[in-house]
Structure 1
Amino acid sequence: MFFHPGRTPRGVVVAALAAVALLAPTGQAGAADSRAAAPPLRELAAESGRFLGLGVNGPLLDQANYTAVAGTEFSSLTPGNEMKWGSVEPTRGSYSWAGADRIVDYAEAHDQEVHGHTLVWHSQLPDWVANGTFADGELRQVMTDHVATEVGRYAGRIARWDVVNEPLNEDGTLRDTVFLREIGPDYIADALRAARAADPDARLYINDYNTDGLGAKSDGMYELVTSLLDAGVPLDGVGFQAHLILGQVPASMEQNLRRFADLGLEVAVTELDVRMQLPSDAAKLQQQAVDYGAVVGACVAVDGCAGVTLWGFTDADSWIPPTFPGQGAALPWDENYQPKPAYHAIVEALGGDPAPEPEPGSCVADYRVTNRWNAGSTVDVRVTTGQPIAGWTVTFGLPVGESVVSSWNTSLTQSGTTVTARNVSWNGTVGAGGTLGFGFQTNSGAVNAAPVLSLNGTTCTTAGQAPS
């Protein structure tokens, strides 16, 4: 699926997160650092033996607020565009690896797997492939050479490959592509064999959309993969893209995943998002949370489901609005990098604690030192409010000698040991049960317990503790 490469998130953070953290600390604040209060999603997923992946937008790896989430919440990265044929071999025999290399290097530096995407696809092909003139048998050689070159370059570094992407029509028959026309139906088997030869350890997938529940297209996928297995073709997994519409998660999704897993194949949800008609509202966001929970829950319920990949994490960077005008808000973090109800539904589906639900008039605070080094630390603060607010002030104390040197998602001042954080122009309105968030960097790496925080003069309960 296409991954929109160009949207810039609102209020990008220029304060980075330091040395052993994500980047060296420079500058000061803009948009939110959106690490969530719960344990990272990757940890929750790992406890169930699964990965939680991200379809990553490579150019945004320059931005600290993006990497603060991408590098900590996810255990697998799928390049959105950087490994597609048009990106890596724009002219015949001439390869461009910089974008793909960067994502693989980043993943390895953050102890993440890479899901390679994608080797053979009818879309985003270079013109010389899509509209080329080939002698008999020539495109077969071109295709297998391309597969062997790309897979071979990353042999031992890629966990899974989408070897063939979107091969089916909606009725389950093979899609009319240049590969089907020039090579015939065996192009799928040829591509899989070439990939296996180039990296015997990578798990090889076929990936498609609208195959999430039982139906003609998923039946066609089932027939395709059983025929490949019967012929001894190397195939390890099937990917289900799950580009879903609000309220339309197939009731048969778990059953469908299970029938493919029962063939001895690995299954995975590879490109999950749930779009809605804009504008969003509380009811739509709650339905979206139900939908995300249902999809992740279906994977958790199937022993052969290896994991779930979100196709982006923030609404500030989504392929949906340009592709489906009037629709959007499809991802678990909003445009300001704040977790939405969908995020908390994923946490619960992975076995984590439910989101705090403060009583009206109360608040629950979560204060976390998210990174620490000899000369500094970064801190993430989230406060969930039991009543709607239009403008917020959060106060708390720091140890003597500890000073804030930069902040983001807030207008922050310090007087002695007292820190006062106020909303900025775009994040002052928070609904009942909603969460505000901000972050800051200090000049001290000292370990300190979470301080008492107050929201608009009300002392907050600390997350995970009962009110006193």
Structure 2
Amino acid sequence: MSENTGHARRRAGAVAATVLAAGLLAGGFAASAHGQEEPPAGTAQEETLRDLADQRGVFMGTALASHRLGEAQYAETASAEFNSVTHENDLKWEAVQPQRGQYSWAGADRVVDFAEANGQDVHGHTLVWHSQLPSWVSGGGFTADELLAVMDDHISTTMGRYAGRIDTWDVVNEPIGDDARFRDSVFHRTLGEDFVAESLRMARAADPAAELYINDYSIDGVNAKSDAYYDLVVDLLDQGVPLDGIGFQSHLIVGQVPASMRQNIERFTDLGLKVRITELDIRMNVPASQADLERQADDYREVVTTCLEVDGCTGVTVWGVTDAYSWVPDHFDGQGAALPIDESYQPKPAYWAVHEALGGTPGPQPTDPPTEEPTDPAGDCEAEYRVTNQWPNGFQAEVTVTAGRDLDGWTVTWDFGGGERVGHAWNASVSSSGSAVTAVNAVHNARVAAGRSTSFGLTGTHEGTVSAPQPVCTGT
């Protein structure tokens, strides 16, 4: 990792982070829910993942959700264990500019402020992406020149706000589809393949000191999709387009780390690019067996070690602080347990594998299979409604559904009390009639095991106030 201003800020915060880490490890990691015994004094408790990453001059990062930072254990774990943070959703186009020209920075600012208070680097995610894109962009019917102006305004305004505070950016996210061809998006339909180069040029103009990346999933090993990215990168560099690196998201499955991962990293670093592992998680069928947890640990060790062994691979970010808030269960039916820290903020074997890969101790050995403490809501299910962001005339909310028994489907209803109207929703089909709102599960999250949770989100408009409705959940 280069000694840029963000790295210097992180060093300045190391003392504060160490103090937090000591309290966290003493209070949370001393005895594990996985049946691991407390490690002897003078071993693993003295160093966090952050400590070890700092010693190696690499980053060990996590994705943060601004609305979780009010939870003490979430915030303490994030500050103690990681020296780099990425906005999970708060910096995406739909969140920061839901209406044209109306920017909302509350969530994004909170993550950046948190990182600066704790001496952490910030990786900006993301500027140009086909998903979580407001309808005024995706359905705006812009000409090529108009869309370029819209992109330039968004990129220059967002990067300009955080110049000197966010040092690396995913400028373009997932431009190539699973078929190894450019993905159908408003950007590609209107501008062709040049939208990638144009975005990067705009980003360089907006903040000449920032490092610029493209980022995607399923490009961790050598395959047709990563070949397409290699060809794209070569073409961009031949044109003199500013590009500093590429991000491998690495949303993996236990036992399926690509054998060609190192070869793939090396071919991109050989082009002069930096490589980041940007969104690592390794999912499995749940409930997890001890054997699966051990295989997951081996996979985490392999990914981190592979990155550290290649000059130019600058570090690893895991996509979430804790399994309690991982995106995986909501998108992959029957799967989860994808992160190194479990739902109770206990270190899993994967945590100690990463610890060892970074140069620390391997940690205690597990003796018993993991246990879970499911919640037990009354009736079919319960729903919790939470406003996660708001701006003049608009808001964003999240609804969490927790099953009281095994569900094959669920419906959540509520009444708005402030004149709100739903505009867009994800992970559920949401309809309304007047103030009454009905949300029905999506196909991928219909089945919820007893004691487990899923969630969906929405954005909408309001008339000056945002209410706190009391949702009712029924299951099938």
Answer yes or no: is the 8 Å Cα contact 1:205–1:239 preserved in 2: yes
Amino acid at match of 2:241: V
Candidates 63, 71, 74, aligned match of 2:79 = 71
1:117 aligns with one of 112, 125, 131? 125
Q: Given that residues 296 and 349 in structure 1 are in contact (C-alpha distance below 8 angstroms), is that contact kept between their aligned partners in structure 2?
A: yes
Q: Which residue of 1 aligns with 2:289?
A: 281
Q: Which amino acid aligns with 1:209?
A: Y
Name the TM-score, length of structure 2 as normaliser. Answer: 0.68
Call closer, same or farther: CA 1:186–1:344 in 2, change over 3 Å. same
Question: In the alignment, which residue of structure 1 is the partner of 2:213?
Answer: 205
Equivalent residue number for residue 53 of structure 1: 61
Q: Deviations over 1:319-343 (max 9, x none)?
A: 0111111100111111111000000
Q: 1:249 to 1:201 in 2, by over 3 A?
A: same
RMSD: 2.3
* Matches of 1:196 and 1:202, distance apart in 2: 7
What are the ranges of 5 or more consecutive residues in structure 2 without an aligned counterpart? Answer: 1-15, 31-43, 372-476
Give the Cα separation in 1 of the matches to 2:147 and 2:165: 27
Query: Which residue does 1:322 correspond to in 2?
Result: 330
Q: Hey, what does 2:183 align to over in structure 1?
A: 175
- Runs of 5+ consecutive residues of structure 1 not aligned to the other structure: 1-17, 26-31, 358-384, 391-468
Shift of 1:58: 1.4
Q: CA separation in 1, counterparts of 2:123 and 2:367?
A: 40
Measured against aligned partners, the alpha-carbon deviations of 1:180-231 in whole angstroms (never above 9, x if no partner) come to 0011111111111111111111110000000000000000010111110110
8 Å CA contact 2:63–2:87 kept in 1: the answer is: yes
Of 255, 269, 278, the match for 2:263 = 255
Aligned residue in 2 for 1:301: 309
1:80: which partner in 2? 88
1:102 to 82, 86, 110: 110
Matching residue within 212, 227, 248 for 1:240: 248
The aligned residue for residue 269 of structure 1 is 277
Structure 1 runs (4+) deviating above 3 angstroms are 18-22, 32-36, 385-390
Specify whether residues 388 and 75 from structure 1 end up closer, same or farther in structure 2 by C-alpha distance, changes over 3 A only: closer
Give, in angstroms, the shift of residue 356 of structure 1.
3.2
- Aligned-residue offset at 1:42: 1.6
Instruction: Give the Cα separation in 1 of the matches to 2:290 and 2:137.
Output: 47
- Match of 2:324, SS? coil
Letter in 2 for 1:42: R
In the alignment, does 2:165 pair up with 1:157? yes
Q: Does structure 1 conserve the Cα–Cα contact (< 8 Å) formed by 2:61 and 2:84? A: yes
Equivalence for 1:353: 361
Letter in 2 for 1:334: D
| Aligned equivalent of 2:320 | 312
Pick the structure with greater CA Rg: 1
Letter in 1 for 2:65: N
- 1:328-371 deviation line (CA, Å, top 9, x unaligned): 011111111100000000011111111134xxxxxxxxxxxxxx
What is the aligned counterpart of 1:333 among 333, 338, 341? 341
Contact 2:290 2:370 survives alignment (8 Å)? no
Q: Give the paired residue count.
A: 339
CA drift of 1:278 comes to 1.1
Q: Alpha-carbon deviation of 1:19?
A: 13
- 2:148 aligns to what SS in structure 1? helix
Which whole-Å CA distance do the structure 1 matches of 2:275 and 2:144 have between them? 36
Q: What secondary structure sits across from 1:120 in the alignment?
A: strand
CA distance in 1 between counterparts of 2:171 and 2:57 reads 24
Contact 2:90–2:96 under 8 Å retained in 1: yes
Contact 2:129 2:172 in 1 (8 A): yes
Q: Tell me, in whole angstroms, the C-alpha distance in 2 between the residues paired with 1:195 and 1:178.
A: 19
Report the equivalent of 2:453. none
Q: Contact 1:239/1:269 (CA < 8 Å) preserved in 2?
A: yes
Contact 1:34/1:65 (<8 A) preserved: no
Cα distance in 2 for partners of 1:176, 1:356 equals: 48
- Could you tell me how far apart the structure 2 residues matched to 1:296 and 1:389 are? 24
Match of 1:452 in 2: none
What is the SS of the residue equivalent to 2:187? helix
Cα pair 1:171 1:220 within 8 Å, conserved: no
Task: Describe the SS at the equivalent of 2:351.
Answer: helix
Q: Which amino acid aligns with 1:93?
A: G
Shift of 1:314: 1.1
Q: CA shift at 1:306, angstroms?
A: 0.7
Deviation at 1:33, TM superposition (A): 3.9
1:116-139 Cα shifts (integer Å, max 9, x gaps): 000000000011011112134211
